[in-house]
A = this chain, B = another copy of it.
Amino acid sequence: MIGYRNLKVALLGGGTVGANVASLLLAHGEEFAGRTGAGIELVGVAVRDLDAVRTPAIPRELLTTDAESLILGADIVIELIGGLEPARTLVLKALNSGADVITGNKALLATHGPELFEAAEQVGAQLYYEAAVGGAIPIIRPLRDSLAGDRVTRILGIVNGTTNYILDLMDTEAASLEDALAQATALGYAEADPTADIEAYDAAQKAAILASLAFHTTVPLESVHREGITSVTLDQVKSARAAGYVVKLLAVCERLPIGNGEFGVSTRVHPALIPLGHPLAAVHEAKNAVFVEAESAGSLMFYGAGAGGPETASAVLGDLVSAARRHVVGGPGVAESTHANLPILPISSVTTRYQITLTVADQPGVLAAIATLFAEHGVSVENVAQSVAEGIDGAAPSATLVIGTHAAAESALASTVAALEENDVVTSVESVLRVEGL
């Protein structure tokens, strides 16, 4: 066949996703040829331990521990090692040799993305990373291509399956955070060390990638405001539901006006209250979903499995078909667009709604005092719910106030909370949660 090419594919990493990629490539090679017009040959799989047990198994003769040699002569390199090194060095080496690279490495992209995209552009190679955010969910390509003629204004993403599983279990089964985490660990949704998930490091990396892409702006990982779910209590989840909300760990990427018709980018990850009628509120268990708002397209949502070996392999193989087609038709890759490079905004410049839960002394005038305090700090109260608890063992009775605010600046909210904590009638500020999706 004229123009038919046999493409050499090198796979780096033989973990769960890598083993699934290898297995599918070997099983469906002819089908890929039909879809791409190119033969796709898996020339080898670089692993650390040749003898590790893999599911599905990878033929022994494909395995090597010499990743650097494997890259030489490959047309396409798939990096599924994870982490920063040696992944960064190997990806740069592959790109510099002119190979297209497919990666599912969110940490690498969020940390070294600009360097990698620059290297790719220099040699006309392409860097694909659909698997880095949302597992099987097509979100990178829709943002980069489908919405390329629109302007994204906001992204609300449930991008970490572990924390969604935990929060969903707290909501639907009234589990404590500890019990829900234990169950997530038992089912394999959470790692032995769950820090990356529950402290939202994983979600912050994905938020940086999404915001960079959506706003054509380099968003450094360290600029992403990050709060995990460790302080979320069952009481908060219950009172959220009673008020018509569900608690989700959200990645929020917003284009915000900064005056004179200019815009900046806010990227943050934190637990948030979502109204029960919002499509994101129906995302259960370990599923992921990305809700995108754009000027012309309006609201879109992309939903599916956010992790898993075969699921993530599907995204990698979709990228592989794209890369193979590009090799067949020729032409350089499309550089990552950062033409807008909007200013990065600190969390203090964000304006959103809040729900604040306070324990206060149950005495006349407290509500008026609290309301005055909010007003003095420029935060407008939308609603207040009060419940009174009898004092136990002779203690004075106390009241719980749940206060919903209108949209307020983070800075105004912060000074309000500081003032509440110093106020004599306030026993404690139990929680402060942002409300998104209204």
**Residues on A facing B (Cβ under 8 Å):** 20, 24, 28, 31-32, 34-36, 130, 136-138, 141-142, 145-151, 216, 279, 282, 294-305, 308, 310-311, 313-322, 325-326, 329-334, 337, 339-340
Contact = CB atoms under 8 A, between A and B. Distances in A.
A331 B329 contact: yes
Given A138-B141, A138-B146, A138-B147, 12 more contacts: A20-B296, A32-B149, A34-B339, A35-B148, A35-B216, A136-B296, A136-B300, A148-B318, A149-B318, A295-B310, A298-B304, A329-B332
5 contacts: A146-B318, A298-B311, A300-B302, A301-B301, A326-B331
Nearest to A320: B149
B318 A147 contact: yes
Given A282-B279, A298-B304, A314 B216 contact: no
Nearest to A317: B149
Given A130-B146, A138-B147, A147-B318, A313 B296 contact: yes
Contacts of A334: 325, 329
A177 to B, nearest CB: 25
Nearest to A20: B296
B150 A318 contact: yes
Contacts of A320: 149
Contact of A296 (B137, B300, B314, B339): B314
Nearest to A322: B145
Contacts of A216: 34-35
Nearest to A284: B277
Contacts of A300: 136-138, 302-305
A200 B432 CA distance: 49
Contacts of A282: 279, 282
A146 B32 CA distance: 13
A311 B337 contact: no
A395 to B, nearest CB: 45
Nearest to A40: B149
A305 B298 contact: yes
**Taking the full assembly, how many copies of this chain does it contain?**
2
A296 B321 contact: no
Given A34-B339, A311-B297, A333-B329, A141 B136 contact: no
B305 A297 contact: yes
Contacts of A137: 300
B330 A314 contact: no
Contacts of A333: 329
A34 B314 contact: no
A309 to B, nearest CB: 9
Nearest to A148: B321
Contact of A150 (B149, B151, B317, B340): B317
Contacts of A150: 314, 317-318
A302 B330 CA distance: 31
Given A149-B321, A325-B334, A136 B297 contact: yes
A316 B146 CA distance: 9
Contacts of A319: 149
A303 B301 contact: yes
Nearest to A310: B296
A318 to B, nearest CB: 4
Nearest to A340: B34
Contacts of A304: 297-301
A338 to B, nearest CB: 10
A423 to B, nearest CB: 42
Contact of A330 (B317, B321, B330, B339): B330
Contacts of A28: 151
Contacts of A299: 304-305
B315 A297 contact: yes
- List 3 tightest A-B contacts by C-beta distance, closest first: A149-B317, A138-B146, A34-B339
A57 to B, nearest CB: 17
A291 B276 CA distance: 21
